Structure 1
């Protein structure tokens, strides 16, 4: 079985569904299936607005950058998923992705945003992407996805609209090198 946890999936150009020109960070991959977060589809909701909505009528004296919440995938759009750097304190519902990165699904991480207790870097998503057992491996064999080791600067810092090209460059590919037709399989 491939080890995809902590990797990026780069959608091939012929994908014309929800995943068109997306980069997915794989948070979990095992015999039961896979789960990941699309990292390059920002919503119109900023993290500051999310914090304010979750802490309605509470005084907000915190400082936020201009980061946006991303649309993490077509599944569970009502749920929040936070990929973040390892922290000194654990959160209620955290899952270790790699030695340096975790996925948290509990609101206690959001309570730290804008404070000194916040993770050094984090990505907030509404929704996730998931695949059943063997489904993602089959899609990779069908040339739907390219796989590349993830890069934290792309995951957390690159402008959203540049993440697809930046992830492709990790493989030495420029967007004009992609053929739009599927080749290599008959």
Structure 2
């Protein structure tokens, strides 16, 4: 696991919001960093469940009664997905040992209909989190985020969304375990 000192964020890391962050889009958020390059950064909030289902968003997929997460405040008219396991979809980008981002959505649907894909290993998002060039690095310097190198895909897919922030911090160990218990509003402690 890592902290922010002397680290350049890279694809496949998690951004854990500091317990003091009050931005309503990112309070207690765990963001999967999918892309970070000279143009900026792209990530998906892993633990913010929306009220929508896939079949609410896509008419042709009324048979898909799957939860959709809010990937972030940017372009909430876009659909993204991640999955765990072996590479299953053409065009997917590997972010961790067994974690993949995106790919050919039509292929996903075809393979699902043919019984070749377990959708319990997939997570869908509307919108994304984006940072302009250098913005994420500035936020790391300001200690807005904690970087985590080791992604536990089981924790991502099996932890209840409201618990994921604490689960990841506890897995990081050390001082991060203490942060995991920090109350949202310390005045109520």
Bin of the TM-score, shorter chain as denominator length? 0.7 to 0.9
Show the counterpart of 2:126. Answer: 126
Show the counterpart of 2:4. Answer: none
Q: Secondary structure at the match of 1:156?
A: helix
Q: For residues 103-139 of structure 1, what are the alpha-carbon distances to aligned partners after superposition, in whole Å with 9 as ceiling and x for unaligned? A: 2165312454475222571111001001112211121
Show the counterpart of 2:170. Answer: 169
Q: CA deviation at 1:179?
A: 9.8
**Mapped partners of 1:114, 1:168: distance in 2:** 37
**Mapped partners of 2:166, 2:51: distance in 1:** 22
- Structure 1 residues 46 and 136, CA, compared in 2 at 3 Å: closer, same or farther? same
- Structure 1 residues 116 and 179, CA, compared in 2 at 3 Å: closer, same or farther? closer
* 2:9–2:137 Cα contact (<8 Å) kept: no
Alignment equivalent of 1:7, drawn from 5, 13, 16? 13
Q: CA deviation at 1:177?
A: 4.8
* 2:19–2:184 Cα contact (<8 Å) kept: yes
* 1:10–1:164 Cα contact (<8 Å) kept: yes
* 1:51–1:111 Cα contact (<8 Å) kept: no
Q: For residues 55-94 of structure 1, what are the alpha-carbon distances to aligned partners after superposition, in whole Å with 9 as ceiling and x for unaligned? A: 35xxx4x7x6xx5210000011011000113555533x53
- TM-score (normalizing by structure 2): 0.76
**Mapped partners of 2:16, 2:9: distance in 1:** 16
**Mapped partners of 1:79, 1:169: distance in 2:** 32
Which has the larger share of helix? 2
RMSD across aligned positions (CA): 2.9
**Mapped partners of 1:98, 1:143: distance in 2:** 24
Q: What runs of 5+ residues in structure 1 fail to find an aligned partner?
A: 182-186
**Mapped partners of 2:113, 2:50: distance in 1:** 20
Q: Secondary structure at the match of 1:155?
A: helix
Equivalenced residue count is 172
- Structure 1 residues 89 and 42, CA, compared in 2 at 3 Å: closer, same or farther? closer
Q: Secondary structure at the match of 2:168?
A: helix
